[in-house]
């Protein structure tokens, strides 16, 4: 069986057309904006989620903390009896089910990066750095946090923290509430830096550097959610590989029952783009 070979730009534009109605893509953007709106409601006295994407308090008074932020706070405080352990358990539970889906479904940077990626043929720029470098960086950040006694990445560098500070600053400004302008400038600067970095080195932040994504990537090895192949229909067009922002070599695993790549963010672009319309490649919880 063979399928017409389309270039990546054509594929990307097809994925944006209303025709293809990309249920999965629409759904994951809906999830991302819903989470964001739930957080923003706190400024209008609806306390569904209080805090930010790195750590929060849920409406039912459950504390939640991102897994890497948890390890950083542990390294910084050296308090192994800390109540943050309770806060990280529900998050670990969620990602034991959904693996690195946080990146494709919740992280606002994936959405912003996808917009930046749309401005160029990013596939022409390939940074060869091994994704494993990120684990060395994550370990280094834990050491720095331990030495300084503060969660260094989470407090100063994190895209999640800075994105949320920036949005918060905007809301405070709009509501005419007091807000430290330097925080707005700094957090905005970090986000702009990451967007420019994305433009020059597409998906290098997500694939190689981001300690949050790298940590969630480890869950892919055991999570219920996985990318599955149903053999027999592959036309070897490589659409799946060419659509993947995370450079996962999907077609190489064609003879295997499930793909458990630490870089897969379960965005479903490969499944949506596959000409077999889901007969071959699917996201599966089974």
Contacting positions for ligand SF4 (CB under 6 A): 103, 107, 109-110, 159, 205-206, 210, 212-213, 227, 243-244, 246, 248, 250, 264-270
Beta strand 49-51 with 55-58: parallel, antiparallel or unpaired? antiparallel
Minimum gap (Å) between residue 174 Cβ and ligand SF4: 25
CA proximity to 266, closest of 234, 223, 209: 223
Closest to ligand SF4 by CB, 42 vs 220, is: 220
Minimum gap (Å) between residue 78 Cβ and ligand SF4: 26
Residue 205: DSSP 8-state: I
Q: Which two tokens stand for residue 82?
A: 């800390």
Closest to ligand SF4 by CB, 73 vs 245, is: 245
How many alpha carbons fall within 13 Å on the CB side of residue 230? Answer: 12
Minimum gap (Å) between residue 124 Cβ and ligand SF4: 18
Closest to ligand SF4 by CB, 36 vs 246, is: 246
Total Cβ atoms within 10 A of residue 57: 15
Minimum gap (Å) between residue 150 Cβ and ligand SF4: 20
Minimum gap (Å) between residue 134 Cβ and ligand SF4: 9
Closest to ligand SF4 by CB, 78 vs 132, is: 132
Minimum gap (Å) between residue 225 Cβ and ligand SF4: 10
Q: Which helix (H) or strand (E) holds 127?
A: none
> In angstroms, rounded to a whole number, what is the distance separating the alpha carbons of residues 175 and 44?
10
Dihedral over Cα of 175, 181, 186, 188: its sign:
positive
Minimum gap (Å) between residue 214 Cβ and ligand SF4: 7
Closest to ligand SF4 by CB, 35 vs 270, is: 270
> In angstroms, rounded to a whole number, what is the distance separating the alpha carbons of residues 72 and 53?
15
Minimum gap (Å) between residue 175 Cβ and ligand SF4: 28
Closest to ligand SF4 by CB, 84 vs 114, is: 114
Q: Which two tokens stand for residue 250?
A: 């999907």
> In angstroms, rounded to a whole number, what is the distance separating the alpha carbons of residues 208 and 127?
9
Closest to ligand SF4 by CB, 74 vs 109, is: 109
Q: Which two tokens stand for residue 60?
A: 């039912």
List all residues 6 or more positions away from 46 whose beta carbon is below 8 Å from its beta carbon.
none
List all residues 6 or more positions away from 59 whose beta carbon is below 8 Å from its beta carbon.
47, 48, 49
Partners of 258 in the β-ladder: 228
Closest to ligand SF4 by CB, 15 vs 82, is: 15
Residue nearest to ligand SF4 (CB): 213
């Amino acid at each position: 069986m063979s399928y017409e070979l389309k270039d990546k730009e054509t594929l990307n534009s097809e994925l944006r057309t209303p025709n293809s109605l990309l249920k999965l893509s629409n759904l994951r953007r809906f999830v991302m904006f819903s989470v964001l709106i739930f957080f923003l409601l706190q400024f209008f006295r609806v306390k569904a989620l209080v805090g930010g994407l790195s750590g929060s308090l849920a409406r039912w008074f459950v504390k939640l903390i991102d897994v890497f932020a948890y390890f950083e706070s542990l390294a910084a405080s050296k308090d192994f009896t800390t109540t943050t352990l309770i806060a990280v358990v529900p998050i670990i539970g969620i990602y034991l089910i959904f693996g690195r889906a946080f990146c494709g479904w919740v992280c606002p940077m994936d959405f912003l990066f996808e917009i930046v990626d749309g401005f160029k043929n990013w596939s022409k720029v390939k940074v060869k750095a091994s994704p494993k470098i990120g684990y060395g960086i994550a370990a280094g950040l834990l050491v720095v946090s331990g030495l300084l006694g503060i969660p260094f990445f989470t407090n100063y560098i994190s895209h999640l923290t800075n994105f949320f500070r920036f949005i918060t600053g905007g809301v405070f400004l709009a509501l005419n509430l007091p807000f430290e302008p330097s925080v707005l400038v700094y957090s905005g600067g970090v986000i702009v830096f990451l967007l420019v970095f994305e433009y020059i080195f597409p998906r290098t932040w997500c694939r190689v550097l981001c300690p949050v994504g790298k940590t969630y990537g480890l869950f892919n090895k055991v999570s219920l959610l996985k990318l599955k192949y149903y053999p027999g229909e592959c036309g070897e067009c490589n659409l799946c590989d060419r659509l993947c922002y995370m450079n996962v070599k999907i077609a190489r695993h064609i003879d295997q029952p499930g793909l458990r790549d630490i870089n897969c963010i379960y965005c479903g672009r490969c499944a949506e783009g596959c000409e077999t319309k889901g007969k071959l490649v699917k996201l599966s919880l089974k």
